[in-house]
Structure 1
């Protein structure tokens, strides 16, 4: 296929560019360590021009963390909805979360560190989405490892999230090796080693 005939990936919108730049800056310097001018500079516009896209830095953070939670929940639900063995569903769910964490380290860092910086309405919305994602995992864990009691499945889900979400802090392996390592460790921790 000639270069002219190759499909071109959609260019991110200005809003998406702003959110990506803000995520990188928030991950590196913390929410309170980043000003509106810093974010504007990162995308080549003035800080005040950001107000055409977001009403405030708080609104950026709220949209960012809500979007993360929606992507995780939607992705999880799409894997659980398929008719197949519970163990296969668990493996798919683990791989999905691993891929998300490895592909979005700044977002994972922002999510871990900045939930407390959300406005109350945004925090409630994000928490509700996160609870639904956890419950999805609890259901899948209990289906794949039937002897697991509900409180144990919930604790295991949170522990696995901690394991997988630690990836922004590790630079020792290439992406494929890290994905395999994390998936294997997560499945092992859940009592359902890889097949």
Structure 2
């Protein structure tokens, strides 16, 4: 399965990613100072990876960003690869779980679609560094992590496809999936967008996404799938 507006603090940003994960530090500590240090390291790594790319950052860079030596990082993570895996698996899990939660028990399909769009817009605007890393460094993941992220991404896209098809029964599944990918790409481009007021940017993205998803077939066009 991302604008420097409406950014969470770095610690909160990574907490959103790391909460779904159950991994503990190799030394067995998972609370208090150790947990806080893990979050600080993930936060620093996300910003550095977004700025310089995964391969342009070393463990000494990450450690220095939080005031520790590079080798001290190994008390919390197996290495840089493990940090990237936790980041990208974490955001993929969060997107999937959040998407599912926002589309259940809604009064009608349009409301569900509105909620889904609002969820992804909010996520993209408040996690720009993580989305940049996700888009650019996915192929740098170890194979097991890459497989897991791809699996989670497919699940998230299917939430969009199922919701869109309930709103647009005239669409084929293939077209609904293509539409979902296109709109997600639009929203995920926010780190490269012009800087706008957070509220204005959110409203703009929401309006553009809904218009794209619900655009009517033009008169004279062939029926979808024909």
If the length of structure 2 is used for normalisation, what is the TM-score? 0.79
How many residues matched? 185
Q: Deviations over 1:142-185 (max 9, x none)?
A: 11122111001110111011100010112431111100000100
**Where do residues 1-195 of structure 1 align in structure 2 (5 Å cutoff)?**
13-191=36-214
Identify the structure with the greater helix proportion.
Answer: 1
- Which deviations, in whole Å up to 9, do the C-alpha atoms of 1:100-135 show, x marking residues without a partner? 000000001000001100000000000000000011
Cα shift readout 1:53-104 (whole Å, capped 9, x = no counterpart): 1101000000000000000001001011223210000000000000000000
State the superposition RMSD in angstroms.
1.7
Q: Tell me the distance in 2 between the aligned counterparts of 1:37 and 1:49.
A: 9
Q: Which has the higher contact order (CA 8 A, sep 6+)?
A: 2
CA distance in 2, matches of 1:190, 1:170: 20
Runs of 4+ in 1 over 2 A off after TM superposition: 9-12
Unaligned runs of 5+ in 1: 1-8
- Structure 2's unaligned 5+ residue stretches are 1-11, 16-31, 217-226
| Shift of residue 192, structure 1, vs aligned partner | 6.0
